[in-house]
Amino acid sequence: MDRSAPFLAAFRNSLAVGDFAPDFDALTPLGHRIRLFDDALAGRPIWLAFLGDLDQPDVAAVFADLARTEAQIEASGAHLVLVTSHTDGPRQRALSREQGLHAPILGDCNGALFARYGMVRGQDLESQACSARSFLITAHGQIHSIADHPSTPIEDLMDAVSDLTSGPNPTAGAGWIPGHAPILIIPKALEAEDCAALISYFNTTDGFRVAKPGPGESGDYKFPVSDYNRQDRIDHVIQDQALLARLDKRINERVIPQIAKAFAFQVTRRETLHIARYAGPRQGIEIGHRDNTHPATQYRRFALSIALNDDYEGGGLVFREFSDQGYRGEPGTAFVFSSSLLHEIEETTAGVRYNLISHFFNEAAAQPQRR
């Protein structure tokens, strides 16, 4: 395997600051598969460090510095991920324990990951001048900085991390934070009486079950949504035909034409309409998600979220790849966004949050599901 790395020299990428970082997946020493831009890591800056043989003194020194800085990196809101040419898994685990390192460390057995980031394993990181190379990747996925260690002190790159994680202010990060997600905002998509009727419908309709209704099941049911072990959300699928007709009229007149104008996409189909209720602490893991990553949901093109009230605190709709600023709107405001965008609803810290949700698609998007 050591011989394969030099042959990848002709295939290595040429990366520069401002390029979008290549995604990859690899295994940890314990056999856990890590994808660089998986939802668990996405939406925050990533400090990606490539190191040579961990038993070399100069490399070991940089490794120790990164382990020492890990808590500070994580506390700032960024993630540390290491890739090494050292492929002895048990030795990696032993060194991680010795240094108190918790970040994933990935062995690049054939040099493919090194080549993807412009290096040839065993050649680029073999001298005292360059024991490790770090790539600081923004939450948006762009390469912010490229630094060689030990010539660039770890502390200098930590300053850059601090700039990128200094808060929701879109002017922070010296222009590296987009500040606004590519979403469509439509005021007055629903009237105030529509919003009040939906909240009343949720609170006065009986029926509760412990799991989401299956395909073809009908009836008025509320059910908990426990993604990532959260305990603050209950959904109600609207079954009342008169209410659905009223909502479809509003959506077809006020939302669908704006999607066609903003995104050049003609919506012809939607999923069921849910009223989602958020209240109390989340309790579970705070993690964003995308709405079309599973085979059963790949047909989804756009998500719909309509605010039904605003007398609560917290509960912002956040797209952390673009900003930590949560979106909120007056009752009736519709938010439409690509199902591929990482998003999450922040914890509702006071009051109760209600919104109407669904997903849009068309016949062409649904075709793969019929095969």
pLDDT digits (tens, 9 = 90+) for 6-26: 556 656 778 999 999 999 999
- CATH number, domain containing residue 136: 3.40.30.10
Clarify whether residues 192 and 278 are in a common domain. yes
Q: How large a percentage of the chain has pLDDT more than 70?
A: 88
Question: What pLDDT does 227 receive?
Answer: 80
Q: What's the pLDDT score for residue 18? A: 94
Ordered alpha helix ranges (H), the chain: 4-7, 57-75, 89-99, 112-116, 154-164, 192-204, 241-254, 256-263, 363-370
Say whether both 304 and 209 belong to one domain.
yes
- 148 with 80, same domain: the answer is yes
pLDDT of residue 126: 54
Boundaries of domain holding 44? 4-164
pTM above 0.85, yes or no: no
What is the chain's mean pLDDT, rounded?
A: 87
Q: Which two tokens stand for residue 106?
A: 């990935």
What's the total number of domains in the chain? 2
Task: Classify each residue of 263-287 as buried b or exposed e, where b means 16 or more C-beta atoms within 10 Å of its C-beta.
Answer: bebebeebbebbbbbbbeebeeeeb
Mean pLDDT over residues 17-38, rounded?
Answer: 90
Are 354 and 198 in contact by the 8 Å Cβ rule? The answer is yes
- Alpha carbon of residue 235 to chain centroid: 22
Q: Which of 102, 132, 164 is the last residue of a domain?
A: 164
pLDDT of residue 323: 86
pLDDT digit string, tens, across residues 340-371: 999 999 999 999 999 999 999 999 988 865 43
Whether residue 351 sits in one domain with residue 205: yes
Q: Are 340 and 290 in contact (CB under 8 A)?
A: yes
Close Cβ partners of 163 (under 8 Å, ≥ 6 residues apart): 172, 173, 174, 176
pLDDT at 205 over 90: no
**Across residues 124-153, what is the average pLDDT?**
84
Cα angle for residues 177, 178, 181 (degrees, 5° grid): 130
Any alpha helices (H) in 224-285, and if so which ranges? 241-254, 256-263
146 lies in the same domain as 228:
no
